[in-house]
Amino acid sequence: MLKFKIPLLAALVTLAACIPYPETEFTASADGISVVGLIDDTTTENLQNAVSRNPQLDTIILQHIPGSVDDEASLVELSRFIRSNHLTTRVPSDGLVASGGTDMVVMGARRIIEPGACIGVHTWSAGFIISDIIVGSELSRDDPEHELYLAFYREMGIDEDFYWFTLNAAGPDEAHWMSPEEINRFNLSTVPVRDTLRETPQQRQRRCDLRL
């Protein structure tokens, strides 16, 4: 069963119509390796190639990663490559990560989320056709479908409470944009995030929805 962390309706349209989605693209600069696109089963190999070509760079700049279309590949292969190579993940102030993209943040051995960065979470969903869709927040806490995610957060050193927070934060076709306080509570950034914008939740929602 395909598990994905992107808005559910967008995923269904993409799968049903076989529309090509934007795969992750990596661009090297003096600051690090910048990433945009959706995470899938090609992302690990593409990142490995980018790191191999630029061994002097140890920072992955997560510029715009709205989700993942293959959670099993990213949560295991991609996370272990990033951690084993002691790479830093950084979301710049004008960057956005959501759902599966947010998971990529916590893969970093060192993690930097700059003030103003949009960090989105929601419940995951899985399936091939609409009648077979499973939504994580609708399952009981002891359902084995949770274990892929719980094992990932344990391996990354992130409190399992963060997983349950994501399930309840927003539905599968929505995004909750985390406040600096929430980011710091779950240690998503190893450098505490300063609340420089002083936004209301509504202001943050509007700003990040536009960036998505």
Q: Which tokens in the block code for residue 87?
A: 């790479």
Q: How far apart are alpha carbons 180 and 93 in whole angstroms?
A: 12
Q: What is the pLDDT of residue 127?
A: 64
Q: What is the pLDDT of residue 21?
A: 62
User: Is beta strand 88-91 parallel, antiparallel or unpaired with respect to 32-36?
Assistant: unpaired
Q: How far apart are alpha carbons 44 and 48 in whole angstroms?
A: 6
pTM: 0.89
Domains in the chain (CATH in brackets) are: 3-211 (3.90.226.10)
Flag whether pLDDT at 210 surpasses 70. yes
172-189 residue pLDDT tens: 888 999 999 999 999 999
14-30 residue pLDDT tens: 333 344 567 899 999 99
* Triad 51, 29, 107: Cα angle to 5°: 45
Distances (CA, A) of 122 to 17, 18, 163, 166, 173: 24, 24, 10, 5, 8
Instruction: Select the more confidently predicted residue: 161 or 20.
Output: 161
127: left (phi over 0), alpha (psi -120 to 50) or beta: left
Q: Tell me which of 15-24, 97-106, 160-169, 187-196 is least confident.
A: 15-24
Instruction: Select the more confidently predicted residue: 27 or 133.
Output: 27
Q: How far apart are alpha carbons 122 and 33 in whole angstroms?
A: 26
φ, ψ at 147 (rounded to 5°): -65, -35
Q: What is the pLDDT of residue 125?
A: 82
Tokens 């993940």 label which residue? 89
Closest CA to 121 of 212, 22, 15: 212
